[in-house]
């Protein structure tokens, strides 16, 4: 039975723009002008090219029983067409091999996971010692087709499910929490659904100048308001990967590649620009198993604020939509 969601109407709002003419579903066009335009393992190595050469290691996990997810795939709510049951986990990693092994071992054991893909962002190709997963067979099978993927985000080639769960190698989401978030995404497949909310604020609400500042977790905690869920732990439709690579403003991709930051903000902008709706924050415990990343560096929030202003100027408007709605699994919460 579908978990109870707090304020289910929000899911319908996030999905309201998913209908095309004649009741058929499809993606709405981007608003900017076109001219600016989870068993046994089998594995394949995918190459990702950004500013430096990037590789993606795909570990496909075949599970015989995905009845609930299969029912979803066969239902009219399936989006985009051609997607399989369950979801793919895409792990973003950078020179943290022990964390990578732990992450692959964890997510490959979660029900509903169709495949685990590792986005390899190092200039050197992965070796068995560095890319080693939880299975010797999986490591030995880490050979195969090489595909060119541009833009700092993996393209949708090799993904057989509509749902993608993007996660950093130092974050562990319990399988039960992940299952609930997947159910939330199924109710609103056009939305980004995740665990790490952030907010954009007007730097000076009384001014006519539209300058924004980045609101970290503490501003979300204090106000209950957010407009982004970061792709370091979120579900989204695989077609957004193609849109990011092929339809998003090239100037935004260039900015992300040059600054090596804000690709998550860029994805939030893209999804909001397509749907005109806010993301969905899922309440749930997630665990950090690594040391602090770039978010702990001095000037991080300032850099993020600069990204907000740069991207909004490139779009010609601010596409992010603020909301106070949160998805809560009432079976595990005293207050919902």
pLDDT (0 to 100) of residue 333: 75
> Above 70 in pLDDT, residue 317?
yes
Q: Residue 127's pLDDT band (boundaries 50, 70, 90)?
A: low
Residues 47 and 189: their CA atoms lie apart, in Å, by: 27
Specify the pLDDT at position 264. Answer: 95
171's enclosing H/E stretch is strand 171-172
Q: Beta 161-168 vs 84-93: how paired, if at all?
A: parallel
Tens digit of pLDDT for each residue in 250-305? 999 999 999 989 999 999 999 999 999 999 999 998 998 876 555 555 667 899 99
Q: How many residues does the chain have?
A: 336
Dump pLDDT digits (tens) for 39-48.
333 333 233 3
Q: Which of 208, 217, 46 is nearest to 115 (CA)?
A: 46
User: In this prediction, what percent of the chain has a pLDDT beyond 90?
Assistant: 49
Q: Which of 169, 264, 301, 329 is catalytic?
A: 264
Predicted local confidence at residue 263, as pLDDT: 94
Question: Residue 185 pLDDT more than 80?
Answer: yes
| Catalytic residue check, 264 | yes
Name which of 39-43, 109-113, 260-264, 318-322 the model is least confident about. Answer: 39-43
* DSSP 8-state assignment for residue 72: H
The H or E element spanning position 309 is: helix 300-315
Which two structure tokens, joined as six digits, stand for 212?
């924004």
pLDDT 10s digits, 208-249: 778 999 999 999 999 999 999 999 999 999 999 999 999 999
Two tokens, residue 278:
């806010």
Domain 85-327 has CATH 3.40.605.10: no
């Amino acid at each position: 039975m579908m978990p109870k969601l707090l304020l289910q109407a929000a899911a319908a709002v996030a999905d309201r723009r998913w209908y095309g003419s004649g009741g058929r579903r499809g993606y709405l066009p981007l608003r900017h002008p076109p001219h600016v335009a989870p068993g046994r393992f089998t594995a394949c190595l995918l190459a990702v090219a950004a500013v430096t050469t990037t590789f993606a290691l795909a570990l496909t996990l075949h599970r015989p029983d995905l009845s609930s997810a299969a029912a979803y795939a066969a239902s009219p709510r399936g989006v985009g067409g051609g997607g399989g049951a369950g979801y793919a986990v895409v792990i973003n990693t950078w020179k943290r091999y022990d964390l990578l092994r732990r992450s692959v071992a964890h997510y490959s054991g979660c029900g509903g996971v169709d495949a685990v893909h590792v986005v390899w962002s190092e200039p050197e190709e992965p070796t068995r010692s560095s890319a080693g997963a939880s299975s010797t067979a999986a490591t030995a099978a880490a050979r195969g087709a090489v595909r060119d993927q541009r833009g700092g985000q993996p393209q949708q080639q090799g993904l057989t499910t509509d749902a993608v769960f993007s996660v950093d190698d130092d974050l562990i989401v319990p399988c039960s929490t992940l299952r609930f978030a997947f159910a939330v995404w199924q109710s609103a497949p056009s939305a980004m659904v995740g665990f790490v909310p952030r907010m954009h604020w007007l730097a000076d609400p009384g001014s006519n100048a539209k300058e924004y500042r980045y609101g970290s977790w503490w501003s979300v905690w204090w106000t209950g308001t957010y407009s982004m869920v970061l792709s370091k732990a979120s579900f989204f439709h695989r077609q957004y990967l193609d849109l990011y690579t092929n339809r998003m403003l090239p100037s935004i991709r260039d900015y992300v590649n040059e600054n090596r930051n804000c690709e998550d903000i860029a994805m939030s902008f893209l999804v909001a620009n397509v749907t005109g709706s806010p993301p969905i924050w899922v309440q749930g415990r997630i665990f950090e198993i690594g040391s602090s990343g770039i978010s702990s560096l001095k000037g991080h929030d300032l850099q993020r604020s600069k990204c907000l202003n740069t991207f909004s100027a490139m779009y010609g408007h601010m596409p992010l939509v603020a909301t106070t709605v949160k998805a809560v699994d009432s079976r595990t919460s005293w207050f919902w």
